[in-house]
Each structure stands twice: as structure tokens, then as C-alpha cells.
Structure 1
Amino acid sequence: MNENLFASFTTPTMMGLPIVILIIMSPSIMFPSPNRLINNRLISIQQWLLQLTSKQMMSTHNNKGQTWTLMLMSLILFIGSTNLLGLLPHSFTPTTQLSMNLGMAIPLWAGTVLTGFRHKTKASLAHFLPQGTPTFLIPMLVIIETISLFIQPVALAVRLTANITAGHLLMHLIGGATLALMNISPTTSFITFITLVLLTILEFAVALIQAYVFTLLVSLYLHDNT
């Protein structure tokens, strides 16, 4: 039962080689680049959404922070598209893998921290010790703040992994219950099917929301260090 339940989260292979690289590259097909003077409706909507998101996310940043706009917009497009592709039948969601999410979170977090130590050294060090701290609490607070700093990328990766994995597992369980109840109680099966449809719509929203939350948290870390 457990093997069947978690089989959709195992990395697919072809001839013994993992094909996750091809799966990760597939979202780029969804965002065609304009090759003519007049854009079509799809590209116009895509550009409008990108401008709206970048304006909302980067409006509070200074000039140093706004240089990260292209990277953050590419990040939200990548995570959102891979989450949505994972909702298709017989597909694989790369963001259910903690290793991949850590691979995104750690370099981005490290980049924001190094940027802070480079441009705002005193302010970055001041975060480890709040002003007015009693002397006997200084060692404990420094240790706590250091741990909280290093736990930020882990929290980013675990949040994304847990939300995507939980939704997929719930859909798997409700789908299996719908099939099992089809011959026993058609009425109950129909109710669970409606629940499955509503949950699928919710998962589409969660896929986009988690991409926005991940990118927004990286943007907040950047804002604190620029």
C-alpha cells in the first residue's frame, strides 16, 4: 500500500537513467518567446502577469535589490509551471523532491546573505544581537539567531515540498476511494468525485500560491540584506 501510494513521487527513469532533467526543462516550452512585432494573446497575458507580479514584489526594493528581478521572475515561473505540470495525469512533479527544493533554496538564501554581509556588514551582524539585550542573554541570543538564520533555506524547501506532496497524496487517496466506492455505493462515489474535482481546483491554486510564497520569501530575505 505504501509503495503504491508513494510511487508517483519516485524519480522516473529511462534505461536506468533519471529523466528528471528533461522534466525540469519542459516548462520552458510553455513560455514561447515573441518572434514578431505584434504579440499574440498568450504572450501579452504572460507579459502583463509578469509585470504585475514584479511591480508588486520588487516595489519596496532599492536599486541593488531590483537587480534580482529577472532571477526572481524566472524562479516564480519555473516553480509555478512545474507545480501545474505535476497535476496532469501520469506526470511527475519535481518540486515534491526535497533535494531539488533545497538546491533552489540554499543558493538563493546564500546569495542574499552574502549580499547583506558585503553591502550592509554592520546591519547584518546587528541582526544577531538585538539592541538592549541583557549581558547574560547575549550568548544564548547569538546562538538562537544563528540557528534561525541557517534554518531559513530548510524552511523554504520543506514548506514547498510538504504542501505539494500533501495535496498530491490527498488527491491520490480520494481518487482511490472514488474507484473503490463505484461498485459499492454510486451515490457516495459521486460525492467523493465532486470532492476530488473541488480538491483539484484547490490544488491548481495551491500550485501557484506556493510558487508565489517561495519567491516572496526569497524577496523578503533580499530586502533585509540590501
Structure 2
Amino acid sequence: MTLSFFDQFSLTTYLGVPLIALALLSPWLLFLAPKNRYLHNRLTALQYWFIQLSTHQLFLPVNKGGHKWAPLLMSLLIFLMSMNLLGMLPYTFTPTTQLSMNLGLAVPLWMATVLIGLRNQPTHTFAHFLPMSTPTLLIPILVMIETISLFIRPIALGVRLTANLTAGHLLIQLISTATFVMTYIAPTASLLTMTLLIFLTVLELAVAIIQAYVFVLLLSLYLQESV
């Protein structure tokens, strides 16, 4: 029976346990808990350095009022990055290829930034819907456009993450299938496709890290508009 290329994105269970539950819990087992020690090993020091550098880069344009969001957004960054990278392993499942999960992360966080803006600076928040010196005839159109652009943000966050990871996984599976088929038919061509597959795998590893960073970066920019 020939399986579909999209079967790798279907939600499966093993012995009654949903694999997506194991995929969601596994990233937290890879990061070390902080300890009250002056000296740490290299892995812990590298982990602290990465978190400190990422936090500095993400919250550099954010006002001090939004710095309280640093633990939440950094936890989300590490969580997404770990799931994206673990999904590159054979016989694994990538939860971030599911649009429902990505929207479940994007919509509440986006809504929180909007509510914070309405509470802290409502005048500034409503001012985004209508720029200054707008002609009277264009006011309804601009308000409608700005409203749509506001509500499209969480959808764009979820779709961007889902589409990039899904496209990368499908392309890797297509090229790997072609490499396997051409191994006995055209060995020279299979070597070329195998070389392409290696470069594509490295590129997909970079995409897994970059897309997690972009997801959190856009949330920090939305937060900047509200604090």
C-alpha cells in the first residue's frame, strides 16, 4: 500500500497514548534546571549564554514595561525551537506542523497584547486605526483596513510557522524518496539528489530555529505597540 506524503502530519496514537502529547513534553526534558552553584558545566553555560543573548536581542526595542514578559516569551522560544528541531529526527512527530496548535499559541498571546494596550494606553491603541490628517472620505476604509490587519496578525503567525515547517518536511520526503528510488536505477543521479538532500536538511535545521525566533520576535513587536 502506498502511503500519502501527508501521513507524517497526521495525529497518531501508540498503545493508546497520543504521540503529540509525548512530543509536547519531550522538549522540557532537554534543558537543565538552574542550580545554586557558582561553576556549571559547559552545557549549562552554553544554555545560559543562549538565553541571555536571545533575551537581549528580543527585548532591546521593547519598553521596560514589557520586560516582565521575558520569561514567558523566552520559554515559548525554547519550546518552539526544541519541537521544531526534534521533528527533524526520524520516526518523530512535529506538533508545530499542526495549524490548530500554532493558532492555539498565537491567538491568546496576541489577544493579551491587545488587552494590555487597551488597558495601559487606550488612546494610543485606537489611534492606530486612523492616522492623522486622513481625508474624511477615506476614514471608513482606513478603519476597516486597520481592523482587518489587526485581526489577521494571529492567523499570519500560525500560518507562517505551519507553512514553512510543512513545506520543508514535504520537500525532504520527496527528495529522499527520489534518492531511494534512483539508487538502483541511476546511481549517479542518486548521489546528486543525496547531496541536495544533505544541504536541504541543513537548511531545514536553520529554518526550524529561525521560524521559532520569528514567531516570538513578532509577538515582542506587538507587545512594543501596547506598552
TM-score (norm 2): 0.96
Instruction: Please give the per-residue CA displacement for 1:99-124, whole angstroms capped at 9, x wherever unaligned.
Output: 00000000110010101011010000
Aligned AA for 1:199?
A: L
The 3 A distance-change label for structure 1 pair 181 and 149 is same
1:186 match: 187
TM alignment of 1:16-55, pairs within 5 A? 16-35=16-35, 37=37, 38-55=39-56
The 3 A distance-change label for structure 1 pair 2 and 103 is farther
- Identify the range of structure 1 (7-16 vs 60-69) with the bigger mean alpha-carbon deviation: 7-16
SS at match of 2:79: helix
- How big is the shift at 1:162? 0.2
Unaligned runs of 5+ in 2: none
Instruction: Please give the per-residue CA displacement for 1:54-97, whole angstroms capped at 9, x wherever unaligned.
Output: 11111222221101000110011011000000000011000000
2:114 match: 113
1:96 match: 97
| Aligned sequence identity (%) | 53
CA distance in 1, matches of 2:180, 2:7: 18
- How big is the shift at 1:150? 0.3
- Identify the range of structure 1 (91-100 vs 58-67) with the bigger mean alpha-carbon deviation: 58-67
2:4 match: 4
TM-score (norm 1): 0.97
- How big is the shift at 1:174? 0.1
Q: Determine whether 1:13 maps to 2:13.
A: yes
CA distance in 1, matches of 2:57, 2:220: 11
- How big is the shift at 1:15? 4.0
- How big is the shift at 1:2? 8.7
2:136 match: 135
Does the 8 A contact of 2:62 with 2:221 survive in 1?
no
CA distance in 2, matches of 1:146, 1:28: 37
SS at match of 2:33: coil
How many residue pairs end up in the alignment?
226
- How big is the shift at 1:35? 3.7
TM alignment of 1:62-101, pairs within 5 A? 62-101=63-102
- How big is the shift at 1:153? 0.1
- Identify the range of structure 1 (77-86 vs 31-40) with the bigger mean alpha-carbon deviation: 31-40
- How big is the shift at 1:21? 1.8
Q: CA RMSD in A?
A: 1.4
